[in-house]
């Protein structure tokens, strides 16, 4: 007897991290749903080509989002939050939505794993290459995000406050090379222009800066 297909919900599936995560779980044969805010969120059909089912909704309207999601499935093994909205209202709505979906899954004997994607900037500026006190980032590393990102850094921890409903993991990834939140593409364009014009490309900064 085959095991039932596992299910995953990606909140913010149209973002540069969310879309990569959604495609990865779809490739792993999960029934993958992507919660997005509008029909124009997948203009090239990239997600639907990977059999990611797009659900139109927002965390700010929990009841409507839950109703739309339930039309596809009532339970989730995995919920990933990869949105970029840093407002308190967005976090509160997202937590309410996740708790509502977790309760439905709990009723069917499933305790979801919830993964919230924050970012490596939560740790503040990194050490330079060769620094004598360089340390790897771990769960015990102090959080020193810049003021503009501190709300996200602190609000992310709230997902750890519901152990009875779901297990939670907070990830702090670096940039995904070549996608919209990375400036590598711009660097390459500038380098190409400098080569074509036979000019020197000046990138101010410390050459010991560690690039991810």
pLDDT, averaged per 10 consecutive residues of the chain (212 residues), comes to 83 86 94 86 71 88 92 94 86 95 96 93 88 86 91 92 97 69 73 93 83 68
pTM: 0.82
Strands 167-171 and 113-117: parallel
Q: What is the pLDDT of residue 153?
A: 92
Within a domain: 210: no
Q: What is the domain range of residue 191?
A: 7-197
Cα separation, 71 vs 68, in Å, equals: 5
Within a domain: 44: yes
Q: What are phi and psi of 207, to 5 degrees?
A: -65, -15
Domain of 154, CATH number, reads: 3.40.50.720
Within a domain: 208: no
Q: What is the pLDDT of residue 11?
A: 94
Within a domain: 206: no
Within a domain: 22: yes
Within a domain: 203: no
Domain count, the chain: 1
Cross-strand partners of 55: 35
């Amino acid at each position: 007897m085959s095991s039932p297909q596992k299910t995953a919900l990606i909140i913010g599936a149209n973002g540069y991290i969310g879309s990569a995560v959604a495609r990865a779980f779809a490739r792993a044969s999960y029934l993958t749903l992507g919660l997005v805010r509008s029909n124009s969120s997948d203009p090239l059909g990239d997600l639907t080509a990977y059999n990611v089912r797009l659900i139109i909704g927002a965390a700010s309207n929990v009841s409507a989002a839950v109703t739309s999601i339930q039309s596809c499935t009532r339970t989730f093994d995995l919920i990933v939050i990869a949105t970029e909205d840093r407002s308190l209202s967005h976090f509160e709505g997202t937590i309410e939505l996740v708790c509502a979906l977790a309760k439905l899954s709990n009723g069917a004997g499933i305790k979801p794993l919830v993964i919230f994607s924050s970012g490596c900037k939560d740790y503040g500026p990194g050490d330079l290459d060769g620094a004598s006190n360089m340390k790897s980032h771990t769960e015990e590393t102090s959080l020193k995000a810049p003021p503009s990102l501190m709300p996200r850094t602190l609000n992310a921890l709230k997902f750890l406050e519901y152990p009875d409903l779901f297990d939670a993991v907070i990830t702090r990834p670096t940039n995904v090379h070549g996608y919209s939140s990375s400036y590598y593409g711009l660097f390459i364009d500038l380098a190409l222009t400098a080569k074509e014009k036979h000019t020197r490309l000046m990138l101010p900064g410390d050459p010991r800066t560690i690039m991810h």
